[in-house]
Amino acid sequence: MSTIITLRYNTINNNTLETKMTLEQQDKKYVLQTYARDYTNFVKGVGSTLYDENGRDYIDFASGIGVNSVGHGNEKLASAICEQAKKIIHISNLQVIEPQAKLAQKIVELSGYDMGIFFANSGAEANEGAIKIARKYGETKFESKKYKIITLEHSFHGRTITTVKATGQESFHTPNFSPYPAGFSYEKSIEDVYKAIDDETIAVLIELVQGEGGVQPFEKKEIQKLAAHLKAEGILLIVDEVQTGVYRTGEFLASNLYEIEPDIITLAKGLGGGVPIGAVMTKHKEVLSAGEHGSTFGGNYLSSSAGLAVLDILSTMYDSGSIDETLVYFAEKLQDILTRYGNLFEKEVGLGLMRGLRAKSAEVQSAVLKNSLKEGLIVLKAGKNTVRFLPSITISKNEIDEGFKRFEKAISSL
C-alpha cells in the first residue's frame, strides 16, 4: 500500500512540476518538432488583429497561411459553428448531411461549373482525391491505361506521400520517405508541358498562382492555350486552388479569373474560415462509384456549416464590390513600398490578396520576416526570396494602413 501511495504522490508531484513548464518547454517536450516555431502565444483575435498573452497586438497579414478568410472572431462564423455544435457536430457519411449538400450546391453555383463535389479535411486530401479521379478516368475511359500526371517545377500540392511526389520541388523528394508512387513528372514551364505529354499521360496538375513557389502567377493566355490543347487531346486539367480559391484572387476561383473550365478543381484553406475542410470538384461525376473513395470526417455538420457561413459572408462582399476595393487598396500599398524601397525588393508579384514582394536576397527576406514580427506584423515567406502577404479577405483599410506602417518601420533600417 505504501508503494502505491508513494507512486501516486510522485505522479501528483510530477504533474504539479509540469504545470510550471513554459509553453515553449511544453511544446518541445510533447509535440513533434516538425515546425520551426515562433513562440509568441496568441490568445485572442479580432478581425485581422491578434493579441498575445501580454496584450500586445499584431496585424495579421498571413491569416493562418490563407485559412482565416473572414478574419479572427468573426461573429457570423462563430455563431454558425456554435449553433451547429449544439445540435450535431458529426455523423458518418453513410447518412445524408444537409449542410454538406447545401455547401456543395453553393460552391457549384458560385463556380459557374457543372460539377460534383467530394469533401475531405485538407488540401492534401483534396489533391489525393483529384489524383484518384484522374487515375480511375485513365483506367476506364481508354483502351490502354493512362496514369501519368505532369506537374510544374516549384509547385506545391501537399504533404502526403503521393502529394509530396506530385510537388515539383526536389527538396521534398528526400530518400527518408521513399519509395514514392510512380507516374509523376515536372516541367519547368507551361511550354515544356506540351513536349512531356505521351500516350500514358492522363492529366496535368497546376496552380494558377504558385504560392509556396514564390507567389508566381501564370500568364492568362498561356493557361487558356494549355486548357484548349488538353481538352482537344482528351487529357484532364486539374487546377489546385487550395490557396487561390474562395475569393483569394478576387473571383470565387482563380479558374474564373483565367476564364478556363478545368476537369477537376481542389479547394481547402479559406473555405472553412479556420475549420478544417477540403473539397475536390469535378465535371466527371460518374468516375468514382460507391466505396472507391471516402472520408470519416469530410464535410461533416460542423465543417460544412462553417463553409456555408464563410461563403455567405464573402459572396455578399463580392456582390457589393468591397472585395475589389480591398484588393486595389492593398495593391496600391504594396506598390508604394516597392517604389520607395527598390534597394530591398525587385518586384511585386501575385494576384488579389495573394501577393508577394520579391526580395533581392534570401538574407533580406529573412530579415524582413524577423523585423516585421518585432514590430507587431505577421508576414510569410515563399520560395527562396519572396515575402508573402495573405491577409483575410475581410481585412479593413485601417488594419491595412497600420500593417504597412509597421512593415515600413520593419524594413527602414535594413
Q: How high is the pLDDT of residue 100?
A: 98
Q: How high is the pLDDT of residue 410?
A: 97
Taking phi first (over 0 means left), then psi (-120 to 50 degrees means alpha), and beta for anything else, what does residue 345 get? beta
Q: How high is the pLDDT of residue 19?
A: 57
Q: Report the largest interatomic distance among the alpha carbons of the chain, rounded to a whole angstrom.
A: 81
Could you tell me whether strands 209-210 and 216-217 are parallel, antiparallel, or unpaired per DSSP bridges? Answer: antiparallel
Angle among Cα 214, 220, 222 to the nearest 5 degrees reads 95
Asked if residues 386 and 365 have their Cβ atoms less than 8 Å apart, the reply is yes
Q: How high is the pLDDT of residue 145?
A: 96
* Other C-beta atoms lying within 10 Å of the C-beta of residue 132: 17
Instruction: Please list the ranges in the chain whose pLDDT falls under 50.
Output: 1-3, 5-6, 9, 16-18
CATH number listed for the domain at residues 21-73+321-411: 3.90.1150.10
Q: Using DSSP, how many helices (H) and how many strands (E) does the chain show?
A: 14, 17
Burial class (CB in 10 A: 0-12, 13-18, 19+), 322: middle
Residue listed under C-alpha cell 514582394: 357
Topology of domain 88-319, CATH: Aspartate Aminotransferase; domain 2 (3.40.640)
Asked if residues 260 and 223 have their Cβ atoms less than 8 Å apart, the reply is yes
Name the 3-class secondary structure at 397. helix
Name the 3-class secondary structure at 212. coil
* Other C-beta atoms lying within 10 Å of the C-beta of residue 69: 29
Distance of CA 161 to the CA centre of its chain: 18
Asked if residues 97 and 300 have their Cβ atoms less than 8 Å apart, the reply is yes
**In the 8-state DSSP scheme, what is residue 377?**
E
Sign of the torsion formed by the C-alpha atoms of 18, 23, 29 and 30: positive
Q: How high is the pLDDT of residue 212?
A: 87
| DSSP states along 299-348 | T-HHHHHHHHHHHHHHHHHHHHTHHHHHHHHHHHHHHHHHHH-TTTEEEE
Distance of CA 392 to the CA centre of its chain: 12
Q: In sequence order, which residues have a C-beta less than 8 Å from that of residue 248 and are 6 or more positions away?
A: 66, 69, 254, 269, 270, 352, 353, 354, 390, 393
Q: How high is the pLDDT of residue 9?
A: 47
In angstroms, the CA 67 to CA 268 distance is 8
In angstroms, the CA 118 to CA 138 distance is 19
Q: How high is the pLDDT of residue 15?
A: 52
Q: What are the grid coordinates assigned to 246, written together?
A: 474562395
In angstroms, the CA 264 to CA 132 distance is 11
In angstroms, the CA 186 to CA 208 distance is 15
Q: What are the grid coordinates assigned to 32, written together?
A: 513533434
* Other C-beta atoms lying within 10 Å of the C-beta of residue 296: 9
Asked if residues 281 and 264 have their Cβ atoms less than 8 Å apart, the reply is yes
Query: Structural domain boundaries of the chain?
Result: 21-73+321-411, 88-319
Q: How high is the pLDDT of residue 1?
A: 44
**In the 8-state DSSP scheme, what is residue 153?**
B
**In the 8-state DSSP scheme, what is residue 260?**
-
The upper half-sphere exposure of residue 61, i.e. CA atoms within 13 Å in the direction of its Cβ, equals: 30
Nearest by Cα to 357 from 327, 390, 386: 386
